[in-house]
Amino acid sequence: MAETSSRFIGRSIKPYKSKRFVTGDGTYVSDVCLPNMLHAALLRSMHAHARIGAIDVKEALAIDGVVGVWTGRDIEERISPFPESFEIHPLPWLEGVKPVLQGPRPTALAKGKVHYVGEAVAIVVAADRHRAEDAVDAIGIEYEPLPVVVDPEESLQPGATLVHDGSNNNVVFSFSIEKGNVNRALGAQPTMLRERFRHHRYCAAPLEGRGVVAWVEPKTHMLTVWSSTQMPHLVRRQIAAQLDLAEENVRVIAPDIGGGFGPKVFVYPEEILIPFLALQLGRPVKWIEDRSEHFISTAHGRDQLHDIECAFDQEGRILALRDRFLLDNGAYNPMGLTDAYNTAAHLQGPYKIPNLSVSGTCVSTNKVPNAPYRGAGRPEAVFVMERCIDMIATRLHLDPAEVRRRNFIQPQEMPYQAGILYRDGQPVCYDSGDYPETMNRALQGAGYTELRARQPELRRSGRYVGVGIACYVEGTGVGSFEGAKVRIDASGRVIITTGASSHGQGHETVFAQIAADLWGLTPEQVSVVEGDTASIPFGCGTFASRSTVTVGSAIHGASAQLKDKLLQVAAHMLEANPDDLELAGGRVSVRGLPQRAVSFSELARAAVPGWASKLPAGLAPGLEATFYFEPRTVTWANAVHVAVIEVDIEIGTIKLLDYVVAHDAGKLINPLLADGQVHGGVAQGIGAALYEELAYDENGQLLSGSFVNYLLPGSMEVPKIKIFHLESPSPLNPLGVKGLGEGGAIAPPAAIANALADALSPFAPRVNAIPLTPDLVLELLAQKEVRSEASAV
């Protein structure tokens, strides 16, 4: 196929077909309304850990309009349990890392005992949601409370309460990786950091919670399920497997989705229960999560505790790093080692670290399950690494930017082998990028040198202004695959179908831009169909900054195949040689003879079976090709964030004065939409750094279960973000692209924590945990005296 001309790739085109979002015509799951529809509500455990005794549903069933109540007992024979995790482990990774994987298998409704506040215990179906909730309140249930374990370190102690019956301890997943010889390197080096870092528990909180509608067509028994999911194909597979149905009789649609960000990447109990009930009752059933349920039933994220030792020389070069960390799983971890292993694989960041040892342990506690949230293990790694770099700078009285420069992998060292395995089983190999230049751009954008020059004067006038840098690399576009079907229909339009599903990223536009360039069309002449299992047999979904890379490449592959066929048909019709043909404006013409041409529409109508066919002999009917892109490994994006903050040391508040991002995600398809992804990610990272926390009390009760005390950043908290793009093309895919959906959220906690440590440097604060609430800031200030004595030792 001829080289792609870049008429649309790289342009800031506004999203297509978006009018529905400003007219109220978007269709989210909660907008799906079917005749004769019933409504479900769930009884959720109020206890963090308890045995379930007798359940009395009589009163609930007596309520007018209630159709039925189901408990764990009622479904145990009919809905098989969930897998221990939805993570797929490639063989080379299993062999290389040899992880421990022994997670418990959750059931759709709790059976025997409950493991966290929020776990589903029973489900009610009624004529409307109010009645369903009345019935939930009327269920009588006896619990025998059990001791609760909420602290991940305690859960590891001998004799600790066991979260799951039948287990020997609370460890469910663990692994360690090593390169070089960390023991020797640490032993040989006197200058050392020994620190404990905590990256707390918070959550994605998409503005639309989860929701499921299921409907069985009474005559064909075809089950259609609408779900607010990032993974329609996985949901279909799981429904079929757990309800023992044929996959071809199950269709899952992900309609407009009101934000995903990670926790919608696996399959939840309700996604199995609601289809089950629709099948049982022969009527459509709908369940929409409310916000209070969301906080106790949709997966939380992060929650890691790191103990590190880091050796460095007098120039600030890191010689060795050992990190032992705990990840608080909560009661289950549906994505297995995804987060924990990502943390390990990203810990080195853009730096040369000759000796590294990382061990991660995921432990069960009586809390909501933990799963990937935008960044998925990377913000935790970056927080650790970037705090270390700044601490080294402080110890050696060096500028933190200079310490980074001394440790950076240099552009001429690309591709760079980082010496460990990625979770796809391939060696981590940074494919392209210029890390020093990315940092230069960010520092220039922030006016770093001038800020540093002004700092002493600001301090003298009582202003605590700090600058924080955070760098990261991000493996993007992970496998195992994504597909695209490219089809030309009788109207001459190019139709792209994929298993990915957009929830605000602007896929439609980006994929149309790619296809338009490949086909010599305008993006308006391309249609994109997503989020429907009926439209393409296999799909992974949208997560892990992967869609532009994987779908873009699949569109490229499928287009190449289809173009080949199209040219053969055209050559036959025009009585020309395929090599003499060219494609433009929806037509194929003989080069130099534009009037000898045939349109895509004519070609589509010729490429049919039967009497109307004008196909050359031996060519199968239909203008359609499907290509599944299976990336051998990820492509590495990188970025540098700079936060400028001012601290009010009287009341402990932090104000963001400036926020700069220099970002390299390879070739950009649409800078305007890329900026939007960065803005949103940074806003979430700011929330994580300063405001959002899912805190539990010692009884395992969630203390911040509503937007009243779980504070999302608003329009006053998120500053204007300055973005600078660099474009180091990826050599690993035909478009040269890298992923960028998650990036924005990865660095803000580290950048802002570094800025705080910098702002308060006269007090030598130990900024080792987030969120940086006013209380924490005041506490750091109060520790000043103690600290200066300790460091004199």
Partner 1 sequence: MTTHCAIEMTVNDKRYTGLVEPRLSLADFLRDHLGLTGTHVGCEQGICGSCTILLNGETVRSCLLFAVQAHGATIVTIEGLAAKAKSGDRLHPIQQGFLETVGFQCGFCTPGFLMTTYEFLQENPSPSEEEIRERLTGNLCRCTGYQNIVAAVQWAAERLRAR
Which residues in this chain contact partner 1 in the complex, by CB under 8 A? 14-15, 18-28, 30-31, 33, 64, 130, 204-208, 256-259, 261, 290-292, 503-506, 672-673, 676, 679-684, 706-708, 712, 714-716, 718, 720-721, 744
Distances (CA, A) of 122 to 108, 506, 561: 9, 38, 51
Residue 92 sits in the site that holds ligand FES (CB under 6 A) = no
Residue 537 sits in the site that holds ligand FES (CB under 6 A) = no
| Residue number with CB closer to ligand FES (25 or 402) | 25
Whole-number minimum distance, CB 204 to ligand FES, in Å?
11
Question: With CB cut-offs between 5 and 8 Å by kind, which of partner 1, ligand FES, none does residue 188 bind?
Answer: none
- Residues with Cβ within 8 Å of 602's Cβ and at least 6 positions away in sequence, in order, are 492, 573
| Residue number with CB closer to partner 1 (115 or 507) | 507
Whole-number minimum distance, CB 196 to partner 1, in Å?
31
| Residue number with CB closer to ligand FES (479 or 504) | 504
| Residue number with CB closer to partner 1 (128 or 142) | 128
Spatial separation of the C-alpha atoms in residues 760 and 312, rounded to whole Å: 24
Whole-number minimum distance, CB 21 to ligand FES, in Å?
8
**Planar angle of CA 584, 590, 591, nearest 5 degrees:** 75
Is residue 175 helix, strand or coil? strand
Per-residue mark of binding to ligand FES, 120-139 (x: CB under 6 A): --------------------
Distances (CA, A) of 275 to 42, 481, 565, 699: 15, 27, 41, 34
Residue nearest to ligand FES as judged by C-beta position: 207
Whole-number minimum distance, CB 677 to ligand FES, in Å?
12
Residue 708 sits in the site that holds ligand FES (CB under 6 A) = no
Are the CB atoms for 748 and 688 separated by under 8 Å? yes
Residue 26 sits in the site that holds ligand FES (CB under 6 A) = no
Spatial separation of the C-alpha atoms in residues 603 and 566, rounded to whole Å: 7
Q: Which two tokens stand for residue 463?
A: 């202003």
Whole-number minimum distance, CB 710 to partner 1, in Å?
10
From candidates 419, 504, 713, 743, binder to ligand FES by CB under 6 A: 504
Residue 207 sits in the site that holds ligand FES (CB under 6 A) = yes
Question: Cβ-count burial of 169 within 10 angstroms (0-12 exposed, 13-18 middle, 19+ buried)?
Answer: middle
- In 3D space, the residue among 221, 220, 239, 219 whose CA is nearest the CA of residue 229 turns out to be 239
| Residue number with CB closer to ligand FES (425 or 504) | 504
Whole-number minimum distance, CB 714 to partner 1, in Å?
5
| Residue number with CB closer to partner 1 (27 or 410) | 27
- Residues with Cβ within 8 Å of 514's Cβ and at least 6 positions away in sequence, in order, are 8, 9, 552, 555, 556, 669, 735
Residue 2 sits in the site that holds ligand FES (CB under 6 A) = no
Kind and range of the H or E element at 125? strand 120-126
Per-residue mark of binding to ligand FES, 461-500 (x: CB under 6 A): ----------------------------------------
Whole-number minimum distance, CB 715 to partner 1, in Å?
4
Q: Which two tokens stand for residue 601?
A: 């529409």
- In 3D space, the residue among 435, 427, 433 whose CA is nearest the CA of residue 414 turns out to be 433
- Residues with Cβ within 8 Å of 522's Cβ and at least 6 positions away in sequence, in order, are 8, 516
- Residues with Cβ within 8 Å of 568's Cβ and at least 6 positions away in sequence, in order, are 578, 616, 619
DSSP 188: H
The sheet that has 482-488: what strands, in order across it? Answer: 526-529, 494-498, 482-488, 624-629
Whole-number minimum distance, CB 291 to ligand FES, in Å?
7
Question: With CB cut-offs between 5 and 8 Å by kind, which of ligand FES, partner 1, none does residue 309 bind?
Answer: none
Is residue 541 helix, strand or coil? coil
Spatial separation of the C-alpha atoms in residues 572 and 251, rounded to whole Å: 39
Residue 676 sits in the site that holds ligand FES (CB under 6 A) = no
Question: With CB cut-offs between 5 and 8 Å by kind, which of ligand FES, partner 1, none does residue 709 bind?
Answer: none
Distances (CA, A) of 657 to 456, 596, 654, 703, 722: 17, 62, 9, 31, 12
β-strand partners of 275: none
Whole-number minimum distance, CB 641 to partner 1, in Å?
13
Question: With CB cut-offs between 5 and 8 Å by kind, which of ligand FES, partner 1, none does residue 31 bind?
Answer: partner 1
Residue 259 sits in the site that holds ligand FES (CB under 6 A) = yes
Question: With CB cut-offs between 5 and 8 Å by kind, which of partner 1, ligand FES, none does residue 405 bind?
Answer: none
Whole-number minimum distance, CB 111 to partner 1, in Å?
30
Number of residues that bind ligand FES (CB under 6 A): 3
Whole-number minimum distance, CB 388 to ligand FES, in Å?
35
Question: With CB cut-offs between 5 and 8 Å by kind, which of ligand FES, partner 1, none does residue 28 bind?
Answer: partner 1
| Residue number with CB closer to partner 1 (12 or 577) | 12
Whole-number minimum distance, CB 612 to partner 1, in Å?
40
Residue 741 sits in the site that holds ligand FES (CB under 6 A) = no
Spatial separation of the C-alpha atoms in residues 274 and 315, rounded to whole Å: 61
Spatial separation of the C-alpha atoms in residues 256 and 435, rounded to whole Å: 37
| Residue number with CB closer to partner 1 (15 or 666) | 15
Spatial separation of the C-alpha atoms in residues 67 and 514, rounded to whole Å: 50
Contact residues for ligand FES, defined by CB under 6 A: 207, 259, 504
